[in-house]
Structure 1
């Protein structure tokens, strides 16, 4: 093939492909602009918002197919030994199928066909058997490679339209070299390979194929892709292929060296799957995370949670509210509005009048009784005036106070003994916190012992839940 003609054809092909990409991009941009005019959110943002962090690959389009065309050459960009000092460029074409496993990595199956050719200067061959030129038909070169997208995480842009990638993998190739010797003899072994390659080398991995030599190769490549639309990519790439043989060009000139060839291509890639899903290879995890955090439904859930917390806090405050100050919260106070200082039971109702003479007698004898609610060692606010008076007396006049704790007969004797001690210690803690020296206060629990009223009635049990204070 004439090099100049091939170059012109390739340039025209690239221009045509670029034109198609530009038209498709313009159409896609127009469609997105129209959508943006009817909605405050652009198409790309809507598609990004449909994906969730840790939502899995099922929420994306992950399959794509592509076609490509370009030039094949029996050299690679990194150089190395060659059996011919002149090389030609020839047309190659291929297909690929890609499965995107993540936003930055994919597996790709590639297949390429075409031919390779090259020649030597006349000064390098003579009338003998030295090779003059070669032409190798690539029946196929099929490989599975990993594709790494470079820069798929972007902190500056929500979505990119240009991406770079690197590839590497392993493949299997079938080829037939035809060599023209310096004396004009053409060596073409097609149809005669079978168990060897026609050059005296065993080719058991060729099996029964008599037309082509088979071998393994390693492809390594780089490229750039352009997002034409949500469905179409335009790719430019270059792949170096390192073959595990030294006869791709039909010559074993270097003995232990291995042949190689390259493929530079341009192609279109088409994403498969539902249009409602974004493409995984163009996804930006940062944008997906941002969309999820800014999701209106999530904000609504947060606000609803705040309201629920506020309601709980208000309910707790309502439970603590005690309007009449009798020590029983309004929620459980069956007798609201009792006068200040009135002795009440656990339901907030005044105690029977029979306790009044006892209170009067305690004032006369110097003994005070501090009442407690059922199963509680928490001081009631109505006890504070009595305790403040006792504290003032101990601080000003010295002396000691004996605190005797008691309980009603509900529960076990062991539990009531502990409860009576806790009640006495609650009174001591109040006195010490008010300035009384700890050594001035003695405490002792008596449990159910020494009731001052019958434990058979609630009125009697209320009186027995007490701490008696006495001055020494």
Structure 2
């Protein structure tokens, strides 16, 4: 008895020591690829990199009120750029950027007379050069050896040369600057953020967004308001680390992983004899466990009802039926009765359409329309029908306002029906605005017919 107890105690101790040892043993082949001896200096890392990118340039930005810009309808145009970066610290680098492309927009803001003097503009960025601080946020990580994604922020200053061209209301296009070749030199402030994904050692996919604040109000060729112009650049590109491929890139290297690898390599010990005994005892335990599991599985077949339908698995001809499904003696779902839309059901919906009224220009349902809607709600509850609500308007007012009003009215009806117990997932509310008239909008009667909400029951 004492011998068995002593052996069991030794085995338990061995299991605990062995589990700690082998849980800490690193994958040396994988770790060595990104390992740099701690405090060995920056010469063991690649600190220079170059990148190329392409994307979309637009006057629309995430800062400020875009509808108050000089031109109210921004457009997208192709831009492309390149950069060279020097990583000074694991989380800090200096980056020199180059950018070219076009920025476009239409519909200028009205002048003092309330008239929009220009239909559109197109500014050609002949070149731009800037120097920015690049701050990497997630390359020092205490949870993973090497993060796959590195978020970053950029902030800098630079100068650019651009040529604004504007088109007036008469369709005539001209350079904003009438002297020389029409180009302008100006200082700008680039502010950006992005994500870099490790594709391979020294190669990163770069997804970025940058807002450029121009130190002038002439970038779009139209001086309007008191604020300077700005534009954004959303881009995708590739970054390539320069130097020996045997060295990790500093911006993506995790020094914490190297410290952990160093610690594990220095403290690794071999417990061969003890591990053989542990493995032998573990094999015996596994065999006993497998035998017990086989016996339990054979017994469970006689009583197990995996899908909970009341029919044990050995007799269940339709396994894995959804919870709550009514089944027959063999475990197969009972046929569901088919429910049809009757003429009486259609009349309930027709009465609701006939009696439906809203407050003028609003989505508020008038009180006398509610009893008819109550009957529609009860019909949806009793027969579990689906309902499509389609809101329409006449062409009075702007198309944006009509689209929003038609959608709001359809949603108001849906909300009321749901409040009366109808299933929200079986009601679809859509607004079509003035796009689907059923009568002419040139007469009052036609416009009245076009202001409607259609109910489709199915």
Q: Which of 1 and 2 has greater Rg?
A: 1
For normalisation by structure 1, the TM-score amounts to 0.48
Q: Compute the TM-score of the two structures, normalised by the length of structure 2.
A: 0.49
